[in-house]
Amino acid sequence: MKVQLDNLNATRAIFKALANQGRFSAELNERIKADDFSIRPISHFVTKDISGKSGTIDILDAQTKKIDGVSTISENTLPRNEGHLSSMIGVSLAKGTKAGDSKFNQNFPAGLENATLQIIQRGNVIVERPMSDLIAEATSDDPRDQVVDLGIPFSLRDAEETKIKIAFPADSEMTAAADADNNWFFKIKTWGYSTAPKS
């Protein structure tokens, strides 16, 4: 059954069901159970230079820094009390000098299109999809076209190590940057809701 996250009451109910299952930090679980929380729409994204990469690589790791226009996540952890619920992911590709100055409108080369993307928490694979399932509409300015609806929500725990990985097919790799102006930048974006203090 396809579950839509376009109804705030339904989204709150999903957060409460997840808290009853202990799916967030202990503090946030108790806040949600006590109805001491609000929700806000949010788009999380991370950008990484993948020039010349192959095998299995980390897109989100302990070295990731929160930088406006580049990443909404610092290191590899969502802030405490900010659990995330989404059913929409988009991936896109840019070529340029800096991630923040590059237009994400490049076609995916075969090796990257055939790769697998994983989101992992506590050793559990939360999302695992072929990259080809997640490629967004590169030419659209409508944010709804820049993500793909997976059809069922997934949640990410607050204050918990999160890993995002790309696994390239064997004997496949991204081409190296031809020069400093032609780095390959990969972006993953989720579009959904986050918990927040009750207003």
Q: What is the pLDDT of residue 125?
A: 98
Domain count, the chain: 1
Task: Report pLDDT digits (tens) over 89-142.
Answer: 999 999 999 999 999 999 999 999 999 999 999 999 999 999 999 997 766 677
Question: Is 173 domain-assigned?
Answer: yes
Q: What is the pLDDT of residue 101?
A: 92
Q: What is the pLDDT of residue 7?
A: 80
Interval 167-178 mean pLDDT: 91
Mean pLDDT score across all residues of the chain: 92
Question: Is 124 domain-assigned?
Answer: yes
Question: Is 97 domain-assigned?
Answer: yes
Q: What is the pTM of this model?
A: 0.92
- The Cα-based distances of 30 to 20, 41, 151, 160, 176 in angstroms read 9, 21, 28, 17, 48
Q: In the beta sheet, which residues pair with residue 155?
A: 85
Q: Sign of the CA dihedral 141, 142, 148, 153?
A: positive
Interval 186-197 mean pLDDT: 95
Domain that holds residue 75: 42-193
Question: Is 29 domain-assigned?
Answer: no
